[in-house]
Chain A
Amino acid sequence: MRHRLSNLLALGTGALLVALAIIFGLVQSM
């Protein structure tokens, strides 16, 4: 179970950072 949670955390962190990178791109390119 811990491994599944760990995988979820890795994927979740990656998804959050991709979203932040897109926001970063939108703000910077304005």
Chain B
Amino acid sequence: MIRRRLAGSVWVVIYVILSALPLLVLLVGETPSGRELWREISVGLGFAGLALIALQFALTGRFRVIKAPFGSDIVYHFHRQISIVAFALILAHPVILFVGAPNNLRLLNVFSAPGRAKLGVLAVVFLLAIIVLSLWRRNLGIEYRLWRVSHGVLATLAIAFALGHVLLVDHYVGTPWKRTLWIIYICGWVGILLWTRILDPVLMLRRPYRIKEVRPERGDTWSVVVEPDGHPGFRFGPGQFAWLSVRNSPFADADHPFSFSSSAECPSIYEFGIRELGDFTRQVKTLRPGEKVYLDGPFGAFSIDRYPDALGYIFIAGGIGITPIISMLRTLADRGDKRPLLLLYANRDPDRIAYYEDLEQLAAKLSLRVVHVLSRSPVHWDGERGRIDTVLLRRYLHDIYEGREVFVCGPDGLIDAVEDHLSDLGLHLRNVHSERFNLV
């Protein structure tokens, strides 16, 4: 735990240093002749924003070592938040230039503007397109895969144009060593791009997997069982996830993240619980045994194995958020774990309770109490009704949470509400671990 926190702190410090480095480098040594303060501040903001945008590729690349201390969902959350900060900094650059000297508006003329200005304008337009398409993808009705490909292409072009803009302006990177440092910076960025787009897919291509079984579960959910094809596969922790690529090459950038639902004690068998919720997941039932697929994993920090000394575990799931939790329960059962476990499992109605029978069996094997909570319960329902709120949590948790770790997985609304309720009950949020679906 201490080592993981230390690793997390080190990565945060490295991130902050790398984001500030371009500006610090420009401040050191010989500086070009001075210009107006507002103009120089606008340039500083532009460089700062560019550094943040370039670092986005490191955040979204599949680097386990970076994501391990935090969890992938939080890294993607940070990616979204910092992209808005970065865009604000970059946008401030031309805005201040135009306000400070309105005649700079001529640089927006695509016919007469110099090449350096055209590149700068293109970079800003592409970044704006990325932000708009990402924030309002669903409202705009853009299919996920099209969005993802456009996201990568637009981001790569935006940075290339921005770097071209910096090098063509040539005011700040004129001295040889500053230019060299910037070229090293660019090489690092290109290296990340090469890893993400070429080397990682090549490694995946060399380690294919095959569908072993596709099995229907309750609630429009399918269990997809996958096994390695000609290699030993990898080990994962209970609660982790992998990127699954189906009927596409790993180069197609068309994989989707799914939590393992199988026991981590069953090596080389990977089972995923997939609910029909979108374009891709609706195709899952058409998969046939023997089909080739690719896996990139494991990822994720949502795992009981990170807290092996807990006196027990409390699981709170909403809908298909049960998937990583069923993996943890199956793993605990395979390990013969005797610690007390509680599962609060929220669903709309009884037909939506995925793994209902499996949970009954696990409850018999483990010291597990399963409490089903239905928001639309039938008349003859002897479980809990409504939603998981403070009253319900107090009823089940008031005297048992001491020394236990709490795992929450489900829609964002459920996680936010449960975290607030648990905080109201006096639980320290460092003992509450969550996993959010909306990675992408």
Interface residues of chain A, those whose CB is within 8 Å of chain B, are: 1-3, 6-7, 9-11, 13-14, 16-18, 20-30
Q: In the complex the two chains form, what is the Cα distance from A11 to B16 in whole Å?
A: 12
- Asked if A7 contacts B20 (CB within 8 A), the reply is no
Chain A CB within 10 Å — which of B24, B35, B48, B434 has the most?
A: B48
Q: In the complex the two chains form, what is the Cα distance from A1 to B94 in whole Å?
A: 36
B74 within 8 A of A: yes
Can you identify 29 A-B contacts, CB atoms within 8 angstroms? A1-B430, A2-B71, A3-B74, A6-B74, A7-B81, A10-B84, A10-B85, A13-B52, A13-B85, A16-B19, A17-B45, A20-B24, A21-B41, A21-B44, A21-B45, A21-B89, A24-B41, A25-B37, A25-B38, A25-B43, A25-B44, A26-B40, A27-B27, A28-B32, A28-B34, A28-B40, A29-B34, A29-B37, A29-B40
Nearest chain A residue, comparing its CB with the CB of B416: A3
Instruction: Identify the 6 closest CB pairs spanning chains A and B, nearest first.
Output: A21-B44, A25-B41, A24-B44, A17-B48, A25-B40, A14-B85
- Asked if B77 contacts A3 (CB within 8 A), the reply is yes
B157 within 8 A of A: no
B70 within 8 A of A: yes
- Asked if A10 contacts B82 (CB within 8 A), the reply is yes
**B78 — which chain A residues lie within 8 A by C-beta?**
6, 9-10
**B12 — which chain A residues lie within 8 A by C-beta?**
9
Nearest chain A residue, comparing its CB with the CB of B15: A13
Q: In the complex the two chains form, what is the Cα distance from A13 to B82 in whole Å?
A: 8
B399 within 8 A of A: no
Nearest chain A residue, comparing its CB with the CB of B36: A29
Q: In the complex the two chains form, what is the Cα distance from A30 to B430 in whole Å?
A: 48
Q: In the complex the two chains form, what is the Cα distance from A16 to B52 in whole Å?
A: 12
**B38 — which chain A residues lie within 8 A by C-beta?**
25
B150 within 8 A of A: no
10 extra A-B contacts, CB within 8 A, seeds A16-B16, A24-B23, A24-B47: A3-B77, A10-B82, A16-B19, A21-B41, A21-B89, A24-B41, A25-B42, A28-B34, A29-B37, A30-B34
Main secondary structure of the interface of A (DSSP, over half): helix
Q: In the complex the two chains form, what is the Cα distance from A24 to B31 in whole Å?
A: 10
- Asked if A28 contacts B35 (CB within 8 A), the reply is yes
Q: In the complex the two chains form, what is the Cα distance from A25 to B26 in whole Å?
A: 11
How near does chain B come to A22, taking the closest CB pair, in angstroms? 6
- Asked if B48 contacts A18 (CB within 8 A), the reply is yes
**B42 — which chain A residues lie within 8 A by C-beta?**
25
How near does chain A come to B274, taking the closest CB pair, in angstroms? 25
Q: In the complex the two chains form, what is the Cα distance from A6 to B308 in whole Å?
A: 25
Nearest chain A residue, comparing its CB with the CB of B70: A2
**A21 — which chain B residues lie within 8 A by C-beta?**
23, 41, 44-45, 47-48, 89
- Asked if A6 contacts B44 (CB within 8 A), the reply is no
- Asked if B27 contacts A17 (CB within 8 A), the reply is no
Count contacts on B: residues with CB < 8 A to the other chain. 44
Nearest chain A residue, comparing its CB with the CB of B84: A10
**B432 — which chain A residues lie within 8 A by C-beta?**
1
**A29 — which chain B residues lie within 8 A by C-beta?**
34-37, 39-40
Q: In the complex the two chains form, what is the Cα distance from A9 to B14 in whole Å?
A: 13
B132 within 8 A of A: no
How near does chain A come to B315, taking the closest CB pair, in angstroms? 18
A-contact bits for B167-191, CB 8 A (1 contact / 0 none): 0000000000000000000000000
- Asked if B27 contacts A1 (CB within 8 A), the reply is no
- Asked if A20 contacts B70 (CB within 8 A), the reply is no
Chain B CB within 10 Å — which of A1, A14, A18, A22 has the most?
A: A14
B405 within 8 A of A: no
Contact of B20 among A1, A3, A20, A25 (CB under 8 A): A20
Nearest chain B residue, comparing its CB with the CB of A27: B27
- Asked if B36 contacts A17 (CB within 8 A), the reply is no
**A10 — which chain B residues lie within 8 A by C-beta?**
78, 81-82, 84-85
**A2 — which chain B residues lie within 8 A by C-beta?**
70-71, 74, 77, 434
Q: In the complex the two chains form, what is the Cα distance from A14 to B20 in whole Å?
A: 10
**B16 — which chain A residues lie within 8 A by C-beta?**
13, 16
- Asked if A13 contacts B41 (CB within 8 A), the reply is no
- Asked if B37 contacts A23 (CB within 8 A), the reply is no
Q: Which of B45-85 contact A (CB under 8 A)?
A: 45, 47-49, 51-52, 70-71, 74, 77-78, 81-82, 84-85
Given contacts A9-B12, A24-B44, A29-B36, contact A17 B52 (CB under 8 A): yes
